[in-house]
Amino acid sequence: MQRSPAVTGEAAVREEEERTLSSLQPSRKKRRTVRKEEVCGTVFAAIPLLGFLLFSAVPVCIAVVTMFCDMNGMNIATLHWNSFANFAKAFTDLPFWKSFLVSLEMTLSHIVGLVISIIIAAVLSQKIKGGKLFTIFFFIPYVCSSAAISIMWVQIFKPTGGIINSLLSSLGVANPPDWFRDSKWFPWMLVITIAWKAPGYGILMVQAALANVNPALYEAAKLDGASRFRQFMSITFPAISPTLYFLLSMGLLNGLQTFDIAQIFAQKTSGYVTGAAGPGDAGLTTVFHIYNTMNNPGAGGMPVASILSLLLFVAITLVLALNKRISKLWVSYDY
């Protein structure tokens, strides 16, 4: 068979290419190294992805299947199709929607924590003797376990003999709140506890952001006679706004996922009330509710809990997207 000139030309080019390649990579050994690099690189990098596949992706796929099925307890062999009955159950699950409000309330603690971090970091960024020592101490709550933190704050909020109520009575408050039994105050107790833990991380991040502000800007502002407040609003705030946005997003994310402290508080105060999550389920956050649903076949068990997890994911995504949209009004990336 006769070859067309184009094909032979191509072959020649290919040959030429190979020759130049081999002249660039003279030895066979080198070429083997390149192949070895390809294989080793892919294998090394694949291990964490394999972990994700095995312990996150596969479970999610199974969970999606169960959403459309009835299941006897946790037994996967008893799956049978029930079309959208679980979804109907999940969407009409009133406590779930109420728990979402509680979780939103929990995000308040992170917002308060953020405000505190800004104030403390701003103060520490001035020349303050012992500032480093303060930074070290302010970070401690962040490394404590939620179990230990709950034990501390249960003691502090104790209706009889706790510090807060003793203090309130000595200040002349006639009826200090009954934190453990009053459904109005119970969530605020959680908010205060989480707000105690939250600022450590924020202080660190805001401090690092403040340190990166160009000092020349302040010099210039001072020459123009700008007041301290004006300097903050026109230089400092825009410069650290990306960090503040990041911290706000993390706060919303963590707040909407509040579980540990709500669950432990409910357990520690269970001697005072009958509700499973504080008085009248006032401390029932979304994740706490999902956890309860999983353990309660009557409420739909695992399949409904999976749907609720999915709804939580959607809700978190929406809140973060909204936060991003609003951030365009106040975050500047020009610095």
Instruction: Say whether residue 132 binds other proteins (CB under 8 A).
Output: yes
The single residue among 98, 176, 268, 276 that binds other proteins, judged by CB under 8 A, is 268
Give the nearer residue to other proteins in terms of CB position, either 85 or 316: 316
Query: By the 8 A CB rule, do 300 and 86 touch?
Result: yes
- Phi-psi domain of 161 (left: phi exceeds 0; alpha: psi -120 through 50; beta: other): left
Question: Restricting to residues 148-187, which ones interact with other proteins according to CB under 8 A?
Answer: 148-156, 158, 160-163, 166
Task: Using the rule CB under 8 A, give the single segment among 1-9, 34-42, 85-93, 178-186 that binds other proteins.
Answer: 34-42
Report, in Å, the least distance between residue 41 CB and other proteins: 3
d(CA 324, CA 170): 45
Among 83, 126, 175, 274, binds other proteins (CB under 8 A): 126
Looking at residues 46 to 75 of the shown chain, list those that interact with other proteins (rule: CB under 8 A): 46-52, 54-56, 58-60, 62-63, 66, 74
**241 part of the interface to other proteins, by CB under 8 A:** no
Among 95, 108, 257, 297, which residue interacts with other proteins (rule: CB under 8 A)? 257
By beta-carbon proximity to other proteins, the closer residue of 6 and 143 is 143
Residue 225 binding other proteins, by CB under 8 A: no
Residues 96-125 that bind other proteins (CB under 8 A): 116, 119-120, 123-125
Region binding other proteins by CB under 8 A among candidate stretches 6-14, 81-89, 178-186, 259-267: 259-267
Residue 114 CB, nearest distance to other proteins (Å)? 14
For residue 301, the one-letter residue type is G
Of residues 285 through 324, those in contact with other proteins by CB under 8 A are: 287, 290-291, 294, 302, 305-306, 308-310, 312-313, 316
Contact 259, 289 (CB under 8 A): no
Question: Rounded distance, CA 110 to CA 116, Å?
Answer: 10
3-class secondary-structure state, position 79:
strand
Task: Find out whether 268 and 279 touch, Cβ atoms under 8 Å.
Answer: no
Q: Are 146 and 106 in contact (CB under 8 A)?
A: no
Query: According to CB under 8 A, which one of 264, 273, 284, 319 is a site residue for other proteins?
Result: 264
Q: Between 279 and 301, name the residue whose CB sits nearer to other proteins.
A: 301
Produce one character per residue of 228-253: b if its CB has 16 or more CB atoms within 10 Å, e if not.
eeebeeebbebbbbebbbebbebbbe
Residues sharing a CB contact under 8 Å with residue 42, sequence separation 6 or more, in sequence order? none
260: its two tokens: 């540990």
283: contact with other proteins by CB under 8 A: no
CA dist., res. 35 & res. 282, Å (int):
61
With contact defined as beta carbons under 8 Å apart, do 126 and 208 qualify? no
